[in-house]
Amino acid sequence: LNNEARRPAIVGEIKRGVWALLSESSYAITTNETPDEVVARLSKFIDGDDGLYVITLRGPWAGSGPAETLAWLRAGLPMNRA
């Protein structure tokens, strides 16, 4: 999201569920929705300057960053090795 400070509606929509902030404008969410359903729900909040990618996350994974984000990822992402 470009200029996230001006995009409180999409951020509010994301934060209605279970979420973690991955970077300044990247979020991970927990949902039972399909990626297409998430795109349909969130796309009404973006404009031509923004991009929206919905990717199914699963392990294994590695990363570094804020402790609360790492804890969220450890607790919420399956660690399938296949």
Q: Dump pLDDT digits (tens) for 24-63.
A: 889 999 999 999 999 999 999 988 888 899 999 888 888 8
**Is residue 45 a contact partner of residue 7, using CB atoms and an 8 Å limit?**
yes
Cα dihedral 2, 5, 74, 67 in deg (nearest 10): 120
**Is residue 58 a contact partner of residue 80, using CB atoms and an 8 Å limit?**
yes
The confidence band for 8, taking pLDDT boundaries of 50, 70 and 90, is confident
Long-range contacts, 71-78 (Cβ 8 Å, 24+): 72/20, 72/28, 73/20, 73/28, 76/18, 76/20, 76/28, 76/30
**Is residue 13 a contact partner of residue 7, using CB atoms and an 8 Å limit?**
no
**Is the pTM for the entire model greater than 0.75?**
yes
60 preceded by a cis bond (ω within 30 of 0): yes
